[in-house]
Every structure is written in structure tokens, then in C-alpha cells.
Amino acid sequence: MLNLKDPSLFVQQALIDGNWTGASSGATVTVDNPATGDFLGTVPDCGKDDSDRAIAAAAAAFKTWRLTTAAERARLLDRWHDLLLENTDDLALIMTCEQGKPLAEARGEILYGASFIKWFAEEARRSYGMTIPAPTVDRRILVSKEPVGVAAIITPWNFPNAMITRKCAPALAAGCTVVIKPSELTPYSALALGLLAERAGIPPGVINIVTGLPKAIGASLTSSPDVRKVSFTGSTAVGSLLMAQCAATVKRLSLELGGNAPFIVFEDADLDAAVEAAIVSKFRNGGQTCVCANRLLVQDGIYDTFAGKLAARVRAMPVGSGVDDDIQIGPMINVAAVGKISAHIEDALALGAANITPRDGLPAGDRYVAPTVLTGATTAMRLASEETFGPVAPLFRFKTEAEAIAIANSTPYGLAAYFFTENLHRAWRVGEALEFGMVGLNTGSVSMEVAPFGGIKQSGLGREGGPSGMEEYLEIKAFHLGGL
Ligand code: ADP
């Protein structure tokens, strides 16, 4: 069992209308620990009935929650934020045991997740409207913002805490109520968040959490006319399916979908800084992030030097269970993930790539993948067009800036891109030419609560975090006062 300071944070029930409950069918799904494959616990396998009840609870709670003052909502969010910080160690341990990431990264995610709650507690008070000069003297026009209504929040397993707070905090700040469907692979981080929200004093029904397999819950959330907004983070395939399912009831949508991030290193880059950034961008969470560098494009003249420096760092990375000290690469989430990553490596090797970081021996178990640097990557390989979602850094060689930009943009995805140069002219040119929602110049990280996060093309719709994050949960009302 988990060795928690507060064992009550490990909850194995769904949260509907302020009640911790099983599924009405009595069904459960099991959750395992990816480091060992061992059984971790069960959660209710909620079906349509449970999801419908959660939506009804959220709709009822919306009637009063929307009338609370922004200051009151900010106060409750602040308390929730503080409780995350007070319980960081336990929340991190729960996360590592269900998700696999090293404990230090899990702690980092709790702080990152909490930062969204803090940010939106502050933003809650700044949901300003405006007045517009009217075209006739007997009219006034006021524009105000109102909460959308019940928001459905569907989240993935790679950031089991922060993907929820990044959606839930702005929803609550705006005056919306929510039904959360966390990934069935990582439900316990979500349920612990729900418990802490309850302890913070957020009223029953404002946050509901339905656990279990996605199909029935997804169908209920996307078809209910009471759900006015769906915010989803996950694969493009599921995002596009949800979009189609939401069409009949014309819901507002925020979609954070797949990426295929280029990471371009020019000859005039600070190579050591680029290597450090590549380590952060490519290997954080074992490469299981939607913004992680998927294709490293390296200019001809520095290709071999960069490859050598990166490989030296990667060879030294400890792989193992995330609860052990100093681990940098934990287990992958499941066997299917390992299968896809291995298939990408094999495909690349068959097409002429070279593995310059061979490693003897990995920890026991079927979830570990050696962090790998591949040289000689080409656009014919699967890893050029598909997200590998693992600790594999394929190095593509290019000669000119135009060629790098063309390769970088030749993807239907447009989430994050990174590039490294010390040349100011090139910095502007390339930054403006990259067709991505987020561009990092001389940095490997673009995720933070203060900046808009989101993609273009098939990477999604809308932006989370930053000054515009709350807009996703607000409707604009134009109030015309006539005949004055
Ligand atoms: P990933 O590839 O990151 O696992 P998915 O898109 O499969 O991403 O999953 C992201 C989230 O979407 C998870 O919570 C998952 O349960 C949910 N999900 C998967 N399929 C559906 C569906 N048909 N309807 C609603 N939610 C779904």
C-alpha cells in the first residue's frame, strides 16, 4: 500500500453531487503501478447513469455557484491551491505510483498544477466587460461575460494533476461547474484533487468526478444538452471523435491534441544550452508529453558535435522506478506505449538510422524503454510523422534555414516548436515562419500558467492558461438598453 502521510487522500470512489460513491452497476476497473505492474487499486467503472447524475448535479449546483461573487470563488480557489501545496508529498507519491514519472517530476507537477489554481483565482476578479458607444442617442450597449454553464473535462494520463487544474480552475473561476472524467489509467490524482477541493469548501456538485472506461461516459457528456462546454486533452483521434459527438448539441470546445514538435539547432546556436534544453524537452516524463521534441533537426556543420554531447548526457540517465532516488526515466505508462516506441526505433534502424546510445540491461518489467539517440533520421521514418511519445531523440540533418523550416512545418500538427540560434535576424525570421501555437527560442519549455498554451491545425482549438484561459469558459453577452 502507499505510504502516505494522509492515507485518506487515496480515494477509490467517484464523486457525484458531494457524495463519494461506486458505479450504479457496481462495476469497477483496476489500476496498476507501471513500475512494477502490481495492482494499485480499483475505481468505479461509471456508466451512462452515473455520468447523467453527475451532469444533473453540476447543472443544479451551477444555479447557485454562478451567483457567487468573484471574490468568493477566488477565496475558495486560493484555499484549494494551499491544500495542494500542503499535501505535495502525498499527491506526488500517488502520481508516481499510478503514472510512473520520477518523484521529483511528480512534485514539480503538483506545483505546476497548483499554479493554475492560483493564477485563475487571481484572474477571477478581472473578468471585465465593456461599454460600446451606441449608434443612436437613445441607446446604451454593455458587454458582459457570463459563465458558459456545465463544463465536461476529459483528461489524459501523462499529467494527471495539471491537466485537470488547468481546465477546472478557470472553469470554476468563471462560475462554471464541472464533471471531470480523468484517464482510467491515472484516476487517483484526480480523486485526491476532488477531496482537497471538498476540504477547501468548494460546494457539493460544483466538482464531480466520474471514473472508469471512457466510451459510455464520453457519450453521455457529449450528448447532454446540459453540458455546454467540453474541454479535452488527449489524442487527435479522440478529440476529433468528441468534436463530432458534440456537433448535435453545438457545444463550445477546447481541444489540446497531439503534437509533432520540431527542435531545430542552427550552427550559430549555443550548443551546450541546446543540449540541456533538448534533455528537458525530449526526456521529461520519459518523452510522454504532447509538447516534447519529436524531431530534432540539426544543421550539418554541428551535427556530429551536437549528437556526441547529447548522447553523452543520455547514456548517463538512470532508468528505473520513479520512487527510487535520482531516477530520470521512469517506466512508460503501459505495454502498448512500449510497443509503439519500440516499433518506431526498429523502423528507423531498418531504414538506416544508428542507435548511438546502446545500453545493456534495463530494470525488470515490461514498461521500460532505454533513452535513445538515433542519428541518420529521415522523413521516410515513422517517427518523422507520428508522435513517438517516448524517450527517443531522432536527429535529422539539414543544410539551410529554408530546408529546416520546410521540414518543421511539414506536419498536420501545430502545437510546439523550438529553435536555437544566437542570430537576432534568424530568431525573428524563423520564429515567425514556424506554424505552431507555441514557439520556444533558446528554451525547451513553453508550459507555464501565465502564458497561453495550445495548438493550431490538428493540434487543437483554444488556449489554456494565460490571460485568455478563462475566456474558454465565458460567454459574451451584449446588453442593449433602447428607448432611453
Ligand atoms: P492518450 O493517447 O493520451 O491515452 P486518449 O485520447 O486515448 O489519449 O485519452 C485521453 C482521455 O480521453 C482519457 O481520459 C480517455 O479515457 C479519454 N477517452 C478515450 N476515448 C474516449 C471516448 N471515446 N470518449 C470520451 N473520452 C475518451
**Domain boundaries of the chain, sorted by first residue:** 7-257+472-477, 262-441
Beta-sheet pairing, 372-377 with 177-181: unpaired
Mutational test site, ligand 1, from 154, 157, 180, 210, max ligand atoms within 8 Å of CB: 154
Low-confidence ranges of the chain (pLDDT < 50): none
Rounded CA separation 95/114 (Å):
14
List CB contacts of 169: < 8 A, sequence separation 6 or more.
77, 116, 117, 119, 120, 121
Q: What is the model's pLDDT at position 361?
A: 87
| Residue 256: active-site member | yes
CA 380–ligand 1 middle distance (angstroms):
28
Class of domain 7-257+472-477: alpha beta
The three cell numbers of residue 21 are 460513491
Mark 367-389 as b/e (b = at least 16 C-beta within 10 Å). Answer: bbbbbbbbbbbeeebebbebbbb
- Tell the residue nearest (CA) to atom 11 of ligand 1: 156
pTM of the model: 0.98
Domain 262-441 of CATH type 3.40.309.10: yes
- Tell the residue nearest (CA) to atom 27 of ligand 1: 214
Which candidate in 109, 123, 256, 267 is catalytic?
256
CA-to-CA dists, residue 262 to 142, 145, 242, angstroms = 44, 38, 27
- Tell the residue nearest (CA) to atom 24 of ligand 1: 218
Residues in contact with ligand 1 by the CB-under-6-Å rule are: 154-157, 181, 183-184, 214-215, 218, 234-235, 238, 241-242
Atom of ligand 1 nearest to the CA of 217: 25
List CB contacts of 192: < 8 A, sequence separation 6 or more.
9, 10, 11, 87, 90, 91, 94
Average pLDDT taken over every residue of the chain: 97
